[in-house]
Amino acid sequence: MATVPLNHFVRASTLLGTTYTQVYSAPASTASIMLTILATTPKLSLYSLVNNFSIPANDVTNLAVGKIVIQNYDALYCYAGNPNAVNLTCSILETLNTTS
Protein backbone atom coordinates (compact mmCIF):
# COMPACT_ATOMS: atom_id res chain seq x y z
CA MET A 1 0.00 0.00 0.00
CA ALA A 2 1.32 3.40 -0.99
CA THR A 3 1.92 6.02 1.66
CA VAL A 4 -0.38 9.01 1.29
CA PRO A 5 1.17 12.36 2.28
CA LEU A 6 -0.64 14.32 4.98
CA ASN A 7 -1.05 17.39 2.73
CA HIS A 8 -0.37 17.63 -0.98
CA PHE A 9 -1.40 20.46 -3.32
CA VAL A 10 -2.31 19.57 -6.90
CA ARG A 11 -3.67 21.37 -9.92
CA ALA A 12 -6.07 19.82 -12.40
CA SER A 13 -6.58 21.65 -15.67
CA THR A 14 -8.45 20.83 -18.87
CA LEU A 15 -10.03 22.38 -21.93
CA LEU A 16 -13.72 21.41 -21.81
CA GLY A 17 -15.71 19.93 -24.67
CA THR A 18 -19.47 19.51 -25.07
CA THR A 19 -19.61 16.13 -23.29
CA TYR A 20 -18.86 15.40 -19.65
CA THR A 21 -15.13 15.21 -19.00
CA GLN A 22 -13.54 14.04 -15.77
CA VAL A 23 -11.46 16.94 -14.48
CA TYR A 24 -10.32 15.36 -11.22
CA SER A 25 -10.81 12.18 -9.17
CA ALA A 26 -9.77 11.75 -5.54
CA PRO A 27 -7.27 8.92 -5.06
CA ALA A 28 -7.75 6.03 -2.61
CA SER A 29 -7.36 6.88 1.09
CA THR A 30 -7.53 10.57 0.25
CA ALA A 31 -9.96 13.38 0.95
CA SER A 32 -9.58 16.31 -1.40
CA ILE A 33 -10.60 19.90 -0.82
CA MET A 34 -11.21 21.95 -3.95
CA LEU A 35 -9.98 25.42 -3.08
CA THR A 36 -10.73 27.11 -6.41
CA ILE A 37 -12.40 26.17 -9.67
CA LEU A 38 -11.33 28.80 -12.19
CA ALA A 39 -13.14 28.96 -15.52
CA THR A 40 -12.41 31.22 -18.46
CA THR A 41 -14.73 32.26 -21.30
CA PRO A 42 -18.29 31.61 -22.63
CA LYS A 43 -20.88 29.14 -21.24
CA LEU A 44 -20.31 26.43 -18.71
CA SER A 45 -22.35 23.82 -16.86
CA LEU A 46 -20.95 22.05 -13.81
CA TYR A 47 -23.15 19.22 -12.62
CA SER A 48 -25.17 20.61 -9.68
CA LEU A 49 -22.78 23.55 -9.13
CA VAL A 50 -23.75 25.95 -11.91
CA ASN A 51 -25.96 25.68 -14.96
CA ASN A 52 -26.10 28.03 -17.96
CA PHE A 53 -23.55 30.32 -16.35
CA SER A 54 -22.02 32.87 -18.73
CA ILE A 55 -18.47 34.13 -18.41
CA PRO A 56 -17.53 37.26 -20.41
CA ALA A 57 -14.90 36.72 -23.12
CA ASN A 58 -11.30 37.06 -21.92
CA ASP A 59 -12.43 36.89 -18.30
CA VAL A 60 -12.08 34.43 -15.42
CA THR A 61 -14.38 33.46 -12.55
CA ASN A 62 -14.04 31.24 -9.49
CA LEU A 63 -16.96 28.78 -9.46
CA ALA A 64 -16.16 27.44 -5.98
CA VAL A 65 -17.93 29.83 -3.62
CA GLY A 66 -16.68 27.81 -0.65
CA LYS A 67 -14.51 24.76 -0.25
CA ILE A 68 -15.76 21.54 -1.89
CA VAL A 69 -14.77 18.26 -0.23
CA ILE A 70 -14.33 15.22 -2.45
CA GLN A 71 -13.99 11.81 -0.77
CA ASN A 72 -12.25 8.63 -1.99
CA TYR A 73 -12.91 7.99 -5.68
CA ASP A 74 -15.40 10.89 -6.01
CA ALA A 75 -14.83 12.96 -9.12
CA LEU A 76 -15.60 16.29 -10.73
CA TYR A 77 -17.07 16.07 -14.24
CA CYS A 78 -17.70 19.18 -16.35
CA TYR A 79 -18.72 20.23 -19.83
CA ALA A 80 -19.10 23.47 -21.79
CA GLY A 81 -21.82 24.71 -24.13
CA ASN A 82 -19.28 25.28 -26.90
CA PRO A 83 -16.39 22.94 -27.74
CA ASN A 84 -12.96 24.18 -26.62
CA ALA A 85 -14.49 27.38 -25.26
CA VAL A 86 -13.80 26.98 -21.53
CA ASN A 87 -10.52 26.25 -19.81
CA LEU A 88 -11.05 24.90 -16.28
CA THR A 89 -8.31 24.89 -13.63
CA CYS A 90 -8.83 23.51 -10.12
CA SER A 91 -6.59 24.08 -7.13
CA ILE A 92 -6.85 21.07 -4.80
CA LEU A 93 -5.49 20.13 -1.40
CA GLU A 94 -5.23 16.35 -1.02
CA THR A 95 -4.99 15.00 2.53
CA LEU A 96 -4.99 11.62 4.22
CA ASN A 97 -8.52 10.32 4.80
CA THR A 98 -8.57 8.23 7.96
CA THR A 99 -12.30 7.43 7.69
CA SER A 100 -12.05 5.09 4.69
User: What pLDDT sits at residue 4?
Assistant: 56
User: What pLDDT sits at residue 5?
Assistant: 61
Percent of all residues in the chain with a pLDDT value above 90, rounded to a whole number: 1
pLDDT digit string, tens, across residues 72-92: 878 888 888 777 778 888 899
d(CA 50, CA 8): 27
Report the chain's mean pLDDT, rounded to a whole number: 78
Q: Are 95 and 6 in contact (CB under 8 A)?
A: yes
Helix (H, G, I), strand (E, B) or coil at 49: coil
pLDDT digit string, tens, across residues 36-51: 888 877 555 555 566 7
> Would you list the domain boundaries of the chain?
20-93
User: What pLDDT sits at residue 75?
Assistant: 86
Q: Judge whether residue 63 has pLDDT over 70.
A: yes
Q: Are 68 and 32 in contact (CB under 8 A)?
A: no
User: What pLDDT sits at residue 1?
Assistant: 46
Q: What residues contact residue 97 under an 8 Å CB cut-off, 6+ apart?
A: 4, 29, 30, 31, 71, 72
**Is the backbone of residue 46 left (phi > 0), alpha (psi -120 to 50) or beta?**
beta
User: What pLDDT sits at residue 65?
Assistant: 77
Torsion of CA 16, 19, 24, 29, to 10 degrees: 180
